[in-house]
Amino acid sequence: MPALAAVRAANAAFSPAYFPVAVFVGGTSGIGRATAEAFARYTKGNAHIVIVGRNKSAADEIIASFPKPTKPEAKHEFVPCDAFLMRNVQATTTSLRERLPKINFLVLSPGLFNFRGREETAEGIDKRLGLHYYARWKFVYDLLPLLRKAKDAGEDAKVMSVLGAGHGGAVELDNLGLKKSYSALKAGLTSPTYTDLMFEHHARENPDLAFIHINPGAVATSLVRDSHWALRPLVALASALAAAPQDCAEYVLYALFQTERGFSRRNQRGDDIGDLKHYGTDDERERVWEHSKEEIDRALAVKVESV
Ligand SMILES: *[C@@H]1O[C@H](CO)[C@@H](O)[C@H](O)[C@H]1NC(C)=O
């Protein structure tokens, strides 16, 4: 386990020979925000940084805090996207594919924290599974060509999902998407396993790209403010014991920078945990892949009144 000082030093050594493009989905709060800020700091603002999220005023604040770049290509922008709906994700990825020449780093961290049961969007996707898994699935699937372009130019091309590596559960093939039987706890175990399987699928097809699933551990974030009032004392207690988002972001960036290629599962200290508590067979991986694709296509086909 590298010490925080060593992790900071390793991150500070990041000095790519190319001009980096990084997209942070869910980068307006919590760990996503802290990671985007650390990335801006280590690149001295000399990067194209795209923050995708819902909160424009938060994004404006974050971007204003970035170091002022010295390179003319540098750009820091906010792209609004309510990732609860797959059609919004699709609109965002379509526009990014039209505008961006490539992506070097795609970091996904949109989250939802409560203990309610299944809550469906107008597209019929459970909100929790949607943000933690299906929306991220679609971002990766749609933006893969831009990551390929970076890799084919000899540059870094890395995808990271900030979720719960090592904290998943077994795949229930008769309950894919938890449509038959659902609980917040079950959903909490399902998204990490599905994430592993999704990244394994991609890593097989694109072995020269890096796919990183990290468990950030408990992080003190705005979840306290956003959580249900009855849970606040509990969440606040957990937060008091949790790492500061800035420290956590150092480990997240470390895992991002240090993973060269392939699928890597990382813990809250940036260590590779290998196959620890890994679930899913080859068959389950492909079944979950097909389910995900079908579920997103089904959601996109739903007629939605106003979006
Ligand atoms: C959006 O961000 C601002 C600034 O950080 C914050 O004050 C506000 O509460 C956020 N709004 C929501 C809906 O989270």
Per-residue confidence (pLDDT) for residue 116, from 0 to 100: 87
Which pLDDT value is given to residue 250?
Answer: 97
Q: What angle do the packed helices 135-152 and 282-301 form, to 10 degrees?
A: 110
Count Cα atoms within 13 angstroms, Cβ side, for 209. 29
Separation between Cα atoms, residue 167 and residue 267, nearest integer Å: 10
Q: Strand, coil or helix: what is 94?
A: helix
Ligand 1 centroid from CA 224, angstroms: 13
Three-state SS at 238:
helix
Number of Cβ atoms within 10 Å of the Cβ of 276: 10
Domain parsing of the chain, residue ranges: 4-300
**pLDDT value, residue 217:** 82
Give the Å distance between the CA of 30 and the centre of ligand 1: 12
Reported pTM: 0.94
pLDDT at 112: 80
pLDDT value for 2: 80
Block means of pLDDT (10 residues each) for the chain, 307 residues, are 90 97 96 97 98 98 98 98 98 98 98 87 97 98 98 98 97 97 95 98 98 86 58 65 85 97 96 97 98 98 81
Q: How many angstroms separate the alpha carbon of residue 201 from the centre of ligand 1? A: 36
Residues 6+ apart with CB under 8 A from 254: 2, 7, 10, 11, 270
User: Cβ < 6 Å from ligand 1: which residues?
Assistant: 55, 57-58, 61
**Token pair of 107, please?**
């970091």
pLDDT of res. 173? 98
Is the separation of the CB atoms in 261 and 210 below 8 Å? yes
Q: For a substitution probing ligand 1, which of 37, 57, 61, 113 has the most ligand atoms within 8 Å of its CB?
A: 57
Count of Cβ atoms closer than 10 Å to residue 32 Cβ: 28
Position 210 scores a pLDDT of: 98
Say what the pLDDT of residue 307 is.
52
Domain at 4-300, CATH class? alpha beta
